[in-house]
Amino acid sequence: MTDTALTIRTALVVPTRPRTLPVRLAWTALAVVIVVAFWDLGIDWSKLASMPPDMAHYLSLMFAHPDWSKLPEALYQTWRSVAMAWTGALLGVVLSTLLGIPAAQGVGPLWVRLPLRAFFAVIRAVPEVVIAIIILTVTGLTPFTGALALAIGGIGTHAKWTYETIESVPHGTAEAVRAAGGNVMEVARWGLWPAASPELMSLALYRFEINVRTSAILGLIGVGGIGDMLTGYTQYREWDTVGVLIIVVIVVTMTIDAVSGRIRRRIMEGVRARDVDRSS
C-alpha cells in the first residue's frame, strides 16, 4: 500500500461521536433529586439572614464565661466515651478480621464469600444509633450498650477494609503455602497476614478514631459518656457548661487524632523502609 493510499484511508476514519444523552439524563436526574430534597425539607429561607447573629449570640453564651467547675465531671465522662470507643474498636476489629479474611477472594470459597459480604453490606446500612436502640432493650442504658453498638456497627466497614487489604497484597507467599499443602487458616496466617498486618493495624487505629466521634453521638440517646452529659445541659440551656463540654470534646478528639495519626504513619513508614531494604 502506497503512502498516499494510506493517508487517504486514515483521513476517512472518522471517530465516533460520544454519546451525550446518558450523561445529560444523569445530570438532569441529579438536579431533580437536589431540588426535591431541598423542597421537601421545608426550609424557611427568611430565617437564614438571622442565623449568623443567632449563632454569634449562642457562641458568646457558651465560650465568653465557661463554667470550669464542671471540668472534672466533663473529663470523667469523656474518659467513659473513650473507653466505650476503645472497647468497641477492639471487639469490632477482632470480629472484622476473623470474618473479613475468609471473605477475601482467593481465601474463602464463593459460597462463603458472598454471604459474608452481603452480611457486611447489611450492617453498613444500619447506623450505630439504630443498633444501640435495638440492643439497649436487652443491655439497658449503659456504656456497654454503646461499646457493643460500636463493635457491631464497625464490622460492616472494617471487615470490608480487611478483605480489600487481603486482596491487594501479593499472593506469591500464599500460593507457596497452598502448594505445600496448607489449609485456609495456614494460608491466611503464614501467606497473607505478614504482608497485610501493618495496613490492618493502621486501619484498626483509624477505626478507633471514628469510634471516638461516634461515641459522643451515642451518648445523645442516654448510653453514657460526654454525649449524655452534653444532652442534659443543653436541654436545661446551661450554655456556660455546654461551652466547657465542647472544648473538652474538641481538645480530646484532636489529641487522639494526632497521636493515632502519628502511630499510623510510623507503622506505614516502617513498612516502606523494610521494602526499600529488601529491594536494595
Q: 192-245: per-residue pLDDT in tens?
A: 777 788 888 888 888 888 888 888 888 777 777 888 888 888 888 888 888 898
Determine the structural domain holding residue 223 and report its residue range.
Answer: 77-279
Which pLDDT value is given to residue 280? 53
pLDDT at 127: 87
Q: What is the pTM of this model?
A: 0.75
Are 104 and 167 in contact by the 8 Å Cβ rule? The answer is yes
pLDDT level of residue 110 (50, 70, 90 thresholds): confident
Residue 4 lies inside a defined structural domain of this protein: no
Degrees to nearest 5, angle at CA 104 with 204 and 183: 105
So what's the pLDDT on residue 277?
52
User: Own/partner pairs for 164-171, CB < 8 Å, 24+ apart?
Assistant: 164/104, 165/196, 165/199, 165/200, 165/203, 166/100, 166/101, 166/104, 166/107, 166/192, 166/196, 167/104, 167/105, 167/106, 169/195, 169/196, 170/195, 171/106
> Can you tell me the distance from the alpha carbon of 174 to that of 103, in angstroms, rounded to the nearest whole number?
15
Q: Is residue 154 part of a domain?
A: yes
pLDDT > 70? residue 22: yes
Q: What's the CA gap between 275 and 91, in Å, rounded?
A: 31
Q: What tens digit of pLDDT does each residue of 244-264 get?
A: 988 998 898 889 888 888 888
Q: Mean pLDDT, the chain, as a whole number? A: 80
32 domain-assigned: no
pLDDT at site 271: 55
- Cα 110–Cα 88–Cα 230 angle in degrees, nearest 5: 135
CA nearest to 264, candidates 173, 200, 184: 200
CB 137, CB 199: distance < 8 Å: no
Residue 3 in domain: no
Residue 184, in any domain of the structure? yes
Count of domains forming the chain: 1
* Comparison of pLDDT for 230 and 174, the residue scoring more: 230
- Residue 16: per-residue pLDDT: 65
Residue 115 domain-assigned (yes or no): yes
pLDDT band, very low/low/confident/very high, at 5 (cuts 50, 70, 90): low
- 216 domain-assigned: yes
Three cell numbers at 193? 497476614
| Contact (Cβ atoms closer than 8 angstroms) between residue 198 and residue 249 | no
Residue 174 confidence (pLDDT) above 80: no
For residue 66, being part of any structural domain is answered with no
CATH code for position 110? 1.10.3720.10
